[in-house]
Structure 1
Amino acid sequence: MTAALAISIFVLAYVLIATERIHRVAAALGGAALMAVAGIVDAHSALFAEETGVEWNVIFLLLGMMIIVSILKQTGLFQYLAIWAAKRARGRPYRLMVLLILLTALLSPVLDNVTTVLLVAPVTVLVCRRLGLPVAPYLIAEALASNIGGTATLIGDPPNIIIGARANLSFNDFLLNLAPIVVVLMAVFILLCRYLFRDTLRLRPEHPADLMDLDEREAITDPKRLVRCLVVLGMVVVAFGLHSVLHLEPSIIALLGAGAMVVVSDARPQEFLEEVEWPTLVFFMGLFILVGGLVRAGVIERLGEAAISAVGGDYVLAAAGLLFGSAVLGAFVDNIPYVATMAPIVQDLVEAAPDAEQGGALWWAFALGADLGGNATAVAASANVVVIGIAARNGEPISFWKFTKYGAVVTAVTVSLAWPYVWLRYFAFG
């Protein structure tokens, strides 16, 4: 009875989010409230429990990076990068999209996909407006690229951090096992974008001519302040890469970096707090509680156990099930709580594997499915939600279905290409 009620509430909230009959924040909070009223969650399970509560590390990581981005925006850095990127692309829409995708793909494995889109999205908005191009296709492409690129490393996508901790996998383990297929997927994605966004990639000749006369250096209003802020940003990036050595959560690093940047920039609270995407943070809180209700009711655990029972001792089938199943299930719930819930089940399956190679293959299939499945819908990954929030804030709203119609295609293509890689590397020639 409890499981059926939890599923009903989740489906209702999800339908409201997808159809946009009411604002997504109201839908998520309303669903969370219904979970509480129905007794499925309580204060402890919703706010403090590790497996079912709000993932505060994600919330405070977002908050810290939003403050950092807000302060950097005041230095003129994003205007500088926007003009530079547009001039390098010579105003050509597809060339500009490829440039921004590559920038996103290179940053995502080093930072993480959420931080990357927070940094790149403001640049994108500025350059698209300068060229008279629609903003939405570029922001969608960047969110999709960040999820693909972030798959390559331990810190590139939050689910990887959870998997790494559970499976005792290092930064180099992820790099050696997932980076090769990520490079292939990114190349395919760039080609796919030419087809997906073909109707919006049209050159407007009057804009590039005006653009080439601009001097990007004039956008920097206070060079000394910018240098101080970039030093802090560099320290944050290094700390992200060394977080396991420093024994600091990425959220703590982001908050420390935000505090340091406030100090070195002498920014006033009203200047940087007004740029924080508060609706996005609240939406995440509601979404975490909704998924926590499913976990608490045993819905996700039963799905996982049913999957394990179905595959039996066939580890090729188990890897395929984890890859494709995670992509499908992760499309409907944020992949962070999904991975946190499924990781213990996968660990049990790995420990029963006949050899370490096949057991390891299950972790990589799980990571690929969860990370790539994050592209499937607008709420499947943190980066997607952040991009939609930035778009709405800048008067360029992206609907649930507008994002999903592109994301679903990209997920289907990338997951389908990931399976031959898993099978060939770990089973056929493993």
Structure 2
Amino acid sequence: MKKTNHLCSRVRSSHAVDDAALNNPLRIVPGTVLGLFCLGQSTFAGAAESVVPGFTQHPVGYLALAIFAIAYVFVMLEEKLHLRKSKPVLLAAGLIWFLVAGFAALSGDTESANAALKHNLLEYSELLLFLLVAMTYINAMEERQLFDALRGWLVSKGFSYLSLFCITGLLAFFISPVADNLTTALLMCAVLMKVGEDSPRFISLGCINIVIAANAGGAFSPFGDITTLMVWQKGAVEFTEFFRLFIPSAVNFLVPALVMSFAVPRQPPRDATEPVIMKRGARRTVVLFLLTITTAVLGHNFLHLPAVVGMMMGLAYLQLLGYYLRRSFARGVARERSWAEATQNTRLLERLDKAVPFDVFNPMARTEWDTLLFFYGVVLCVGGLGYIGYLSEVSEMLYTDWSATGANIAVGFMSAVVDNIPVMFAVLSMEPEMSQGQWLLVTLTAGVGGSMLSIGSAAGVALMGQARGYYTLVSHLRWTPVIMVGYLASIATHMWLNAALF
């Protein structure tokens, strides 16, 4: 910084240009650019050195807030504009950190912004690799047609609309702790769309039920939602402690489900049969996924390794399975073809004609990269605002001026309007002093609060696209009061059952 100031003073003190420079205008350009930079620096530095109460009240801070707010408006309008949510937040993250780093450098601090950014990147990289492995496994199960087989079984059983409403809700609640709430919601919605073709009302109610169930199921497992994963990796809640939220999460799901069940059409759906035969390795993929989760949990709890180490080790399990499936591909296809010809299964024969060996990088390529990049943008945006000082101010307002309980309940309502990822990341960045019961409370509210609006969770946003015209913001809004009752009932249940933790 001193070297730059010295150079700037030399440029500003020089009033003469030598004859050679006049004869060669190109030689003037570097000096002119440097002079303009120094003029801008002196103006900016003067502002930085003026009596400014804090970074949060500086125009740079206000500009960073405005950039984040504008970016998030575009995120909320994703379905309307057909603009993927990662694009505005990636741009906002870059702009905010350029502003932050520039302001810090001109104030004489060239290290703290860099250190803060590296800390945020480290947190993101751990979550990125963790989610990459989890999504790869889920995509591998889908590629092996495990979920298609489940959907075909449900469709072929001839359940009534009310039975399907209950079954899809319960399945969403119990699958989302393992497969994550977004994947679970998409799977169950596919079932609804298949069996409810003649009943738009059933599809609408079923989608609302699935969103609530998937979000509630994801709240009591570190693998059920990105927010719970963040809480676990941060060390705020131990793995086994999440299961204390099982009953409160069940209450959050069952209260609105019970009320909505009275509005489900009573006539039976149209008969449909869709038998699906899973591909080789489907069940083994499930077993390896469970083994991967076990590896991550044991390594984290007993050896204090980052959970991502166990997950990446689990990716090796899947790669070895893929190697075996490729080596035995011809033999396996021949065996399946013999069975298909004996049973005259034309659909299986058609599939075998197009069969290709399993490649683990194909399901990896189908990972939700938009979600992962969106998460990068959110982490860096919130990290930049935290460096400026806004998170500490919000933390003081929420957790000092308010009670911790009131603040954590408010987090759930904020999650209904703003995606729960930035909300939870902000809370974790604040690092408020709270009891274990309060950490579980904010985990619960951030996880299930998004169910109050269709735009409040990834599951809701995804289903608005998948069930376009059936499940909308307005159709969900009609049931918001009932969902809110379930939200408050789950909080009361948690505070009663886990009172000893507060």
Same fold (TM over 0.5): yes
Superposed CA offset, 1:305-338 (max 9, x none): 1123313xxxxx431x133221133334443443
Residue 93 of structure 1 is matched in structure 2 by 161
Match of 2:312 in 1: 252
In 2: Cα distance, 1:112 partner to 1:263 partner = 24
CA deviation after TM superposition for structure 1 residue 104, in Å: 2.0
Counterpart-to-counterpart distance in 2, 1:74 and 1:273: 11
Q: In the alignment, which residue of structure 2 is the partner of 1:338?
A: 423
1:11 is aligned to: 69
What corresponds to 1:353 in structure 2?
none
Alignment-mate amino acid for residue 278 of structure 1: W
Q: Is the 8 A contact 1:75 1:220 kept in 2?
A: no
Aligned equivalents of 1:131, 1:241: Cα separation in 2: 39
- Paired amino acid for 2:404: A
Query: 2: distance between equivalents of 1:23 and 1:302?
Result: 35
Counterpart among 263, 267, 282 of residue 323 in structure 2: 263
CA offset digits 1:5-43 (Å, max 9, x no partner): 222222222222333453342x64234324533534569
**TM-fit CA distance, 1:361:** 3.2
Structure 2 Cα separation of the partners of residues 71 and 112 of structure 1: 12
| Superimposed CA distance per residue, residues 384-407 of structure 1 (whole angstroms, 9 cap, x where no aligned partner) | 56x45xx74x68589883687379
Q: Which residue of 2 aligns with 1:228?
A: 284
Q: Return the alpha-carbon distance in structure 2 between the equivalents of residues 148 and 306 of structure 1.
A: 28
* Partner residue, 1:401: 473
Tell me the residue number matched to 1:416. Answer: 488
| CA distance in structure 2 between the partners assigned to 1:303 and 1:101 by the alignment | 36
Structure 1 CA distance, aligned partners of 2:319 and 2:173? 27
> Following the alignment from structure 1 to structure 2, what is the Cα–Cα distance between the partners of residues 54 and 380?
24
The amino acid across from 1:277 in the alignment is: E
* In 2, Cα distance between equivalents of 1:409 and 1:326: 18
Structure 1 position 100, deviation (Å): 1.6
Partners in 1 of 2:453 and 2:122 — Cα distance? Answer: 22
Bigger Rg, which one = 2
Distance 1:98 1:104 in 2: 10
| Structure 1 Cα separation of the partners of residues 449 and 253 of structure 2 | 15
Aligned equivalent of 2:107: none
What's 2:190 paired with? Answer: 125
1:207 and 2:270 are equivalent in the alignment: yes
Q: 1:2 aligns with which of 33, 48, 60?
A: 60
Q: Map 1:292-331; keep pairs closer than 5 Å.
A: 292-311=383-402, 317-319=403-405, 321-331=406-416
Higher relative CO (Cα under 8 Å, sequence separation at least 6) belongs to 1
Q: Map residues 254-293 of structure 1 onto 2, 5 A cutoff.
A: 255-256=315-316, 258-266=318-326, 267-268=358-359, 271-272=362-363, 275-293=366-384
Q: What amino acid does structure 2 have at the position aligned with 1:187?
A: L
The amino acid across from 1:11 in the alignment is A
8 Å Cα contact 1:35/1:41 also seen in 2: no
Task: Sort the Cα spacing of 1:244 and 1:97 in 2 relative to 1 into closer, same or farther, 3 A.
Answer: farther
Identity percentage of aligned residues: 19
Distance 1:60 1:377, change over 3 A: farther
Cα distance change, pair 410–151 in 1 and its aligned pair in 2 (3 A)? farther
* In 2, Cα distance between equivalents of 1:180 and 1:16: 36
Contact 1:327 1:374 in 2 (8 A): yes
Q: CA deviation at 1:225?
A: 3.0
Q: Deviations over 1:73-118 (max 9, x none)?
A: 3333222211222344x24233212212211212334x2634xx42
Q: Residue 106 of structure 1 corresponds to which residue in structure 2?
A: 174
> Which structure 1 residue ranges, 5 or more long, are not aligned?
312-316, 351-358
Contact 1:93 1:203 in 2 (8 A): yes
1:33 to 75, 79, 91: 91
Rounded to whole Å, the distance in 1 between the matches of 2:89 and 2:145 is: 40
Change in Cα spacing, 1:84 to 1:372, as seen in structure 2 (3 Å) is: same
Amino acid at match of 2:408: L
1:188 is matched with: 255
| AA partner of residue 183 (structure 1) | A
Task: Determine if contact 1:331/1:376 at 8 Å carries over to the other structure.
Answer: yes
Q: Contact 2:419 / 2:450 at 8 angstroms: preserved in 1?
A: yes
Pairing of 1:381-400 with structure 2 (within 5 A): 381=457, 383-384=459-460, 387-388=462-463, 392=465, 396=468
User: Aligned in 2, Cα 1:189/1:42: closer, same or farther, shift over 3 Å?
Assistant: farther
CA offsets per residue over residues 140-186 of structure 1, 9 Å max, x none? 5333312212222454444334445656643333323x223223223
Q: Distance in 1 between matches of 2:266 and 2:101?
A: 54
Closer, same or farther: CA 408–106 of 1 in aligned 2, 3 Å: same
> Structure 2: where are the runs of 5+ without partners?
1-58, 103-112, 327-357
- Tell me the TM-score normalised to structure 1 length: 0.74
Q: How is 1:41-52 mapped onto 2 (pairs within 5 angstroms)?
A: 49-51=118-120
Residues 46 and 362 of structure 1: is their aligned pair in 2 closer, same or farther, counting only changes over 3 Å? same
Aligned counterpart in structure 2 of residue 70 of structure 1, from 134, 139, 148: 139
* CA apart distance, 1:344: 6.0
- Cα distance in 1 for partners of 2:229, 2:150 equals 30
Q: Give the equivalent residue in structure 2 for 1:238.
A: 294
